[in-house]
Amino acid sequence: MSTAQPGSRAPMTTLGLVGGMSWHSTVTYYRRINEVVAQRRGGHASAPIALQSLDFDEVRACQVAQDYEASGRLLARAAQRCVAGGAEAVAICTNLMHKNAPAVEAAVEVPLVHIADAVAVRARVLGVTTVGLLGTRPVMEEDFYAQRLARHGIDVVTPGPEDRVEVDRVVFEELTRGVLREDSRARYLRIIADLAERGAGAVALACTEIGLLVGPDDTDLPLVDTALAHADLLAEVCLGSDLDALLPHPVGRV
């Protein structure tokens, strides 16, 4: 059920956020969604949100062990707790753990708002059909993310092997621990420039912490901060928009 609002305003959709992976980017989600809702609704409006913030140390242990069945159970239970708290749509506030999107979606009866769909929405606005992926190694090297983008007619290019290792290292040794280094920013910008030379019309910062390190003022190439793009799409859902109508191509369930 939707959260009723006073007066004649339409009810908002309660969002369920599975966050804490890491908490640094979950803060970005919470702030951005509420900023958009406040701007659009006015007054004292804020977004109705059921948040489950996981212990990233536990999730990271599953990633290192490549035990995605175990992490899928963790995320699925978190999504169920969101729904029990009133959520009418859920989201996984991280790129990599969308490996578990099918498990999460199977565990709840409400829609899952997929982060790659948010990238596709932003790519449509930018008018690009080839996007560079900058994220953790599974996001860059496996097909779960690229295939989701392909449903929207978007091709991807990724960094070379050595650069993929370095991008991944910076994510887990620095960004998810709140560490921002100028030398790492410089390396990321060099990799972004290389992706542009290889045909990327934009680069998706496909780890939700990368936007803390590099931003639109750092490069002429359009950047898609996936945390912000995902939060913007979630805000639209919160405000009552039909999810399929927002996407370049309706994709149904995972």
> What is the per-residue DSSP string for 12-71?
BPPEEEEE-TTHHHHHHHHHHHHHHHHHHH-TT----EEEEE--HHHHHHHHHTT-HHHH
Q: For residue 36, is pLDDT > 90?
A: yes
Catalytic residue among 62, 82, 93, 207: 207
pLDDT at 249: 77
pLDDT at 254: 55
pLDDT in tens, 177-227: 999 999 999 999 999 999 999 999 999 999 999 999 999 999 999 999 999
pLDDT at 8: 44
Q: For residue 5, is pLDDT > 50?
A: no
pLDDT in tens, 119-176: 999 999 999 999 999 999 999 999 999 999 999 999 999 999 999 999 999 999 999 9
- Residue 228 burial class via C-beta count within 10 angstroms: exposed 0-12, middle 13-18, buried 19 and up: buried
Tokens representing 14? 């309660």
Q: For residue 34, is pLDDT > 90?
A: yes
Q: How many CA atoms lie within 13 A of 158 on its CB side?
A: 21
DSSP H or E stretch at residue 89: strand 89-92
**Is 207 tagged catalytic?**
yes
pLDDT at 252: 65
DSSP H or E stretch at residue 130: strand 130-135
d(CA 83, CA 152): 28
Catalytic residue among 14, 26, 94, 176: 94
CATH of domain 15-115+228-246: 3.40.50.1860
CATH of domain 116-226: 3.40.50.1860
pLDDT at 10: 85
Of 118, 100, 88, 121, the residue nearest 17 (C-alpha): 88
Domain boundaries of the chain, sorted by first residue: 15-115+228-246, 116-226
Q: Quote the percentage of the chain above a pLDDT of 90.
A: 93
pLDDT at 77: 98
Q: For residue 6, is pLDDT > 70?
A: no
Q: Please tell me whether residue 253 adopts helix, strand or coil conformation.
A: coil
Q: For residue 3, is pLDDT > 60?
A: no
pLDDT at 9: 76
Average pLDDT over residues 1-16: 68
Are both 15-115+228-246 and 116-226 of the same fold? yes
DSSP H or E stretch at residue 195: helix 182-197
**Is 94 tagged catalytic?**
yes
Average pLDDT over residues 3-19: 76
pLDDT in tens, 220-247: 999 999 999 999 999 999 999 999 999 9
204 has which bridge partners? 133, 224
